[in-house]
Structure 1
Amino acid sequence: MARRKVLELVELNPSFLVSLPFSAAALLWQDGAGILRRIWSYISYPLPFFNDRVSVGRVVIGIAVLLLTLSLSGRFSSLLDRRLAKRGHIDPGLRYTIARLVRYLFVIVGVLIALKQFSIDLTSIAVLFTALSVGIGFGLQYIAADIVSGFILLFERPIRVGDRITIGEDEGDVQSINLRTTLVMTNDRIAIIVPNSKLVSQRLINWSYGDPRARISIPISVSTKSDIDLVTQTLLLAAEDVENVLTDPPPKVQFLSFGGYSLDFRLLVWTRQPNRHPQIKSDINYRIEKLFRERGIEIPYPTQEVHFRGPQPPIETDAQNSPAQAKGSDENAHPFSPRERDRL
């Protein structure tokens, strides 16, 4: 039945077949436009827990800006670091500082743009932080100190990425300087996470700061009977041809003091690889032990001497020297006769 009606329409109006596609397209366009308008009304609908200017679409855009900022900041920072690495005259620590600061700037700009999408007034945020400053000062003072110290490390650069540092009993290479903490890797490949405030406020040793050369001190004690000239020559010989030990300045021996049971010396050597100083000390100590054994130089150890005395002769009293006197004195002490004493 429907087919017959279509054929009748075609016979009465031959142009019906030509106008049919356009009519269908117009209907689809009207339906599509209605769908788009419906979607746009949903997107622009104001959210009840924000003000009237914040809609679902602005929230989606704000979240997208945040995610895009976090993704692009890391990629742009890595790209900048690789570009700067191609310039050999730029220090690696300075290159890291520039890349890190650019990343922080990128993130701050992205966060500000995202806050604008949420129609958040920055003045109100400033007032809020002012009101919370007392609580932050007491509750988060250590975290705030670590963050401020992180920027101090990046700008002042007392330590840089790749430096060899010693802080307390820990020693290692600086791997990264983050916003709140610094990562230090030891020779045992143990990661030490140090708060930035500790690196700023406490005393530390930076083996790589300034002059790349570093002096290594190796103390040694010998027996008091040793020849000091022979000891000096042996120590200088032990420092020759050791890997990573410089010949200029040359090794040097110092006679420090006369110990209670030893003569105390110190061998001083220079190196351009301060991060290798434990291995350098080990290599030199091996040679010192071998050369001391060959040349008969003794390494002392504490000794104690114990003296034993023989038994003393008994002390003679006056009574023992004059028994007659002792007997007379005994009689004088008892004036009674023997018979009277028996009665008593």
Structure 2
Amino acid sequence: FDAQPRADYANQILNRAVQSGEPVTVRVVEINELPVIQVNGVNLLTVTRKDAPEGMTREEQAQRWISRIEFAIKLAQEQRRPEYIRKAILLSAFCVVGAIALSFALGWIWRNWLPRLIHLRQTNSQQLLESFLPLSLAVVRVFLWLLTVIYISNQFAQTRIWSRRIIDVLFFSFAEPIIPLGDKSYSVIQLLILLGLFSGLLIVSRSATKLLRSRILLFTGISRGAQETIALIACYTLIFIGTLVLLQLWGLDLSSLNIFAGVLGVGIGLGLQGIAKEFVSGLAIIFERHIEVGDFVNVGEYMGTVERIGLRSTQIRTLDEVAMIVPNSRFLEKEFVNWNHGNYVSRIRLPVPVAFGEDLSQVREALIDAAKDYPQVVSQPAPRVFFIGYGESSLEFELLVWIADPRRHPQIKSDLYFRIDASLRSRNIQIPFPQRDLHFRSSLPVELSRQAEAQLNNSLNNGKREESKAE
């Protein structure tokens, strides 16, 4: 007989013995010089020489199996009694309540604690992690309820076969090599292990990059932007080499991925043009170094410090302490201002109007005095004052100063204006108000209402009385 029919026949005998509820007799008899195990006088199975391990006789193996069969039958009869079923139902109810409470607790953690943790860590893939949270919560909840169903169904003899089938299906789905990749097939568990190893590779690469940045590059004396560029190139190089080594150790033939590489190339040409464009732009920024970490830049209407340069985007911390993500292609396609590129100082222009008739040399001296003692203004180049011209209401001057910290541009400009105002006031130099002259042509007829005409006459009469009193 085949193994499966023999197993089904043995299960039928054991089920009848268990369901009878009566004491079961299990013994060994010898038939044709072979030990045969009987249950209530019915032959269950024959113990052959292949069934006994080395160093044990067939009779000893038969006695071991008898002990296990008697224990299993006794346990099965115990689990079919009403007392046990009541306890199992009560335990199952507690399991359901616990699973519901744990599901709500997981939801609270995923909605409140994990987003806050991701925000505090300021990871480079913060948006990706936040978008992945709902999916991960759904996976954890499904796994929780699957374990609950398996545990509850395993408590009852009538439903234990369901739990065994669920476990068999899960084992087949995760452990059987059903995913072809190259010349071999891999199971879901193997791919999950590969993803885990790749995640470990990413963690090791980033840790090595941080160690390189903090323990080696920090003491080389090179600029911060150059340090970040070297660290970034080292990180991606480690990831690339580590991925190749990991795939080779995994037994994956890289030559079998040529078709996948071709399909990926077509996908990049059709649907991934934007990502490829940002990737190439990131490489150009890293190697050309028109912009580096720590530079103070103007991008559109925003000003800020470059905090991170990635292969797809650049993160800038604005003056409002807001992180702004800029696609790398924007730095290649549109104009931007890098206040630190090629020079460590930057210039500030401060327009200053003064009233007509003021002494120009006094104005120049006041502006120079306001700038030369300010600690944030560098001595070379020295502050300069230019007389721009005559405005509609004022004499137009412009003070030019150079600073070493462009990130403090607004604060320094505000402080200088405070100092300029104090310096002008100390010299009694007036800052003019806008003036307008209004001329009326007397030939034009002007019609006034009675109330306006009466008020005008009263004003004229009052003026005449005051003049006569003064005389």
Alpha carbons of 1:133 and 1:190: their partners in 2 closer, same or farther (altered >3 Å)?
A: closer
Q: Is the 8 A contact 1:54 1:119 kept in 2?
A: no
| Aligned position for 1:55 | 186
Which whole-Å deviations, capped at 9, do the CAs of 1:40-97 have from their partners, x for residues lacking one?
A: xx9xx86233166223375355334312211211111111112323424222211111
| Aligned position for 1:243 | 375
| Aligned position for 1:211 | 343
1:82 counterpart = 2:217: no
Which whole-Å deviations, capped at 9, do the CAs of 1:150-191 have from their partners, x for residues lacking one?
A: 111111111111111111211111111112111111232111
How many residues are aligned here? 273
Q: Is the 8 A contact 1:46 1:53 kept in 2?
A: no
Partner of 2:408: helix, strand, or coil?
helix
| Aligned position for 1:229 | 361
Partners in 1 of 2:359 and 2:304 — Cα distance? 39
Q: Is the 8 A contact 1:162 1:173 kept in 2?
A: yes
| Aligned position for 2:123 | none
CA-CA distance at 1:254 after TM superposition: 0.6
1:102 counterpart = 2:234: yes
TM-score normalised according to structure 1 size: 0.71
Partners in 2 of 1:312 and 1:59 — Cα distance? 94
Aligned positions of 1:169-188 closer than 5 A? 169-188=301-320
Alpha carbons of 1:226 and 1:93: their partners in 2 closer, same or farther (altered >3 Å)?
A: same
Partner of 2:219: helix, strand, or coil?
coil
Q: Is the 8 A contact 1:81 1:99 kept in 2?
A: yes
Aligned sequence identity (%) = 35
Partners in 2 of 1:201 and 1:131 — Cα distance? 25
Q: Is the 8 A contact 2:179 2:185 kept in 1?
A: no
Over aligned residue pairs, what C-alpha RMSD do you find? Answer: 2.9
Q: Is the 8 A contact 1:65 1:110 kept in 2?
A: no
CA-CA distance at 1:207 after TM superposition: 1.4
CA-CA distance at 1:242 after TM superposition: 0.6
Partners in 2 of 1:144 and 1:301 — Cα distance? 56
AA of the residue aligned to 2:179: F
CA-CA distance at 1:198 after TM superposition: 0.9
Partners in 2 of 1:248 and 1:90 — Cα distance? 23
AA of the residue aligned to 1:149: S
Contiguous gaps of at least 5 residues in structure 2: 1-53, 61-171, 446-471
Partners in 1 of 2:273 and 2:192 — Cα distance? 34
Partners in 1 of 2:375 and 2:444 — Cα distance? 65
Alpha carbons of 1:122 and 1:298: their partners in 2 closer, same or farther (altered >3 Å)?
A: same
Larger C-alpha radius of gyration, 1 or 2? 1
CA-CA distance at 1:264 after TM superposition: 1.1
AA of the residue aligned to 2:184: R
| Aligned position for 2:411 | 279
> Which of 181, 204, 220 in structure 2 is aligned with 1:72?
204
CA-CA distance at 1:312 after TM superposition: 7.6
Contiguous gaps of at least 5 residues in structure 1: 1-21, 28-41, 314-344
